[in-house]
Structure formats: structure tokens, C-alpha cells
Chain A
Amino acid sequence: MSTEAAHTDEAHATTGHYVRIAIILTVLTVMEVATYYVDIPFALLIPLLLVLAGMKFGLVVAYYMHLRYDSKLFSGFFFFGLTIEILLLIALMVLFGIRSG
């Protein structure tokens, strides 16, 4: 990390900040696990779980991996791979869905 970036990180993220993120991650995980024990309609369950997982994913990437404060080039490398994969996933799910009727 460059000195400038390190200083930026230091300015934005403290130990207390990291602990607060961990608490939010724990709460989101508890909510996820709770959906397993609570009777939620399937149509609602999938979007709910995907949103919760997406929030956890975003928090770790933005704050613990420092992408929020770091160069946009790093975000570009990461989200390029992620985008390719999501497109691949959608394409194959649709393709296999059509094949299995």
C-alpha cells in the first residue's frame, strides 16, 4: 500500500470501526441462519438470502479489503472477474434450465 493510501485507510478505518463491521456481519449471519428455522415463502426466501449474502460480501470487500478507499483500478480487476462469472452463471443456468424443460 502506498503511504498516501495507508494514511487514507487509517483516517477512515479504526479498530472500533472494524469491530462494528464484524458485529454487523454477525447480525446478518444470525438473520441468515434464522431463515432456515422460520417458515418463509420460497419466493421471498431466495431474494432475502441473496440480499443478506450480498450485504456481507459488500461489507468485507469495501471495508476489510479496503476497496472503498483504494484505487479504482483494483476494483476494476476484481469486479471484471466477478462480472464475467455472474454472466457465466446466468447463461449456464438458463441453458440447463431450457435443456431440462
Chain B
Amino acid sequence: MSDAALAHEAHEEHPTTTGLNHRKILMWAFLGSECIFFGSLITTYLVYRGKSVVGPYPDEILNIPLTSISTFVLLMSSLAMVLALAGFERAAGAGADEERKQRELKKGRFWLLMTAVLGTGFLGFQVFEFYEFVHHGLGLTTNLFGTTFYVLTGFHGTHVGVGVIWLVSLLVLSYFGKVKPLDVELGGLYWHFVDIVWIIIFTLIYLIPS
């Protein structure tokens, strides 16, 4: 093992004052701040809800069946993500049983790939939705609905995009033996957070009539 790898491993095993992993604490602190970030965007949408003076209005253009499918796709990506983490954890716990380790690692990689594919599918739905809205005359500056809708869902979509890049990076790095279960768990926490933000957005924007 190289010096750098040894130093990295020593750092990972280093006891902390809280007994908790620092990277994981950092991730939860980051997610707490992300709550405030997305909450501010959601609040802005709700405050300006129903205050557009020109159309198109939400009831005229929101496509509930299409968004329901994309919501389902994102929910299933969360399932794929936990299965990926379970695979990597089982591989790490396989010990000297190399055959079992490789089998579990393969499962972990498969579900990681599925998560990225489903995330990309969700982004495809969002791009289609944006295209349709623009086609119906709703731009970023058309009215208050357009501005608050595009900013909120656009930032969410960007987060999904970053998540997909993160997942693909983990997948590629796993083939070089550089991915530990904690790395997958941190990516998973981010991914599930993106999912719960959409759970709220779907209810508040799409399902509650304005």
C-alpha cells in the first residue's frame, strides 16, 4: 500500500471526540443548510402563489400524470440507492471471502448504475416539462409563477444533475478499488435529500390547487 493510501486509512480510523465520522457530520450539517436553501425557494413560491397577473397559470399547464411518473422514478432511485449501499457494505464485510466480496460489489455497482439511470430519467422528464412550458408561452420572466417555478425546480434539477455526476464518479472509482461504504453512504445521503425535497415540491406545486 502506498504512503498516501496508508495515511488516508489511518485518518479514516482516527478516533474523534464525538465518536462520529467527521465527513458524515459535515454531510448532515450541509444537508441542514440545504433545508434552509430549498425552504427559502419553496417559501418564495408559496408567498407569490396565485399572484400572477398574466398567464399561463399553473392550472392551465401543469401536467400531473407526467410529473407523477417522474416522481415515481425518483422514489425508485432512492430504493436503488439504499440497495447499492447495502451491496458495498456487504462487500466490505465479506472479509477474506473474495468470491462473496466480488458478488456483493457487483450488486452494489449495478444498483449504483440504476440510481444514476433513474436520476437521468427524472432529468429527462424535467427537460421535457420545461420544453412544453416554454412552448405554451411560460418563460422565466413571463409572470411570478414562471419565475418562482423555474428557479425552484431548476435548482432542484441542478442538484439531481450533480447527484448523477457524483454517482457515476463513485461507480467509476469503485473499479479502481477507491470506494468505501462510507463514500457510497455520503453520496446516498445527498441523493435521498434530493428525493425528499421533490416529495415536498410535488405536493406543494403540483397537487395543491392554487
Contacts and interface: CB of A to CB of B under 8 A. Distances in A.
B79 to A, nearest CB: 4
Given A81-B35, A89-B43, A26 B199 contact: no
Nearest to B87: A15
B175 interface: no
B151 interface: no
A60 B33 contact: no
B47 interface: yes
A20 to B, nearest CB: 10
Given A29-B75, A60-B192, A73 B25 contact: yes
Contacts of A93: 43, 46-47
Band of interface residues on B: 35 or more
A64 B78 contact: yes
Contacts of A100: 51
B68 A29 contact: yes
Contacts of A65: 188-189, 192-193
Nearest to B86: A15
Interface in B172-188: 181-182, 185, 188
Given A73-B20, A74-B25, A60 B39 contact: no
B129 interface: no
Interface string B79-91: 1011100100100
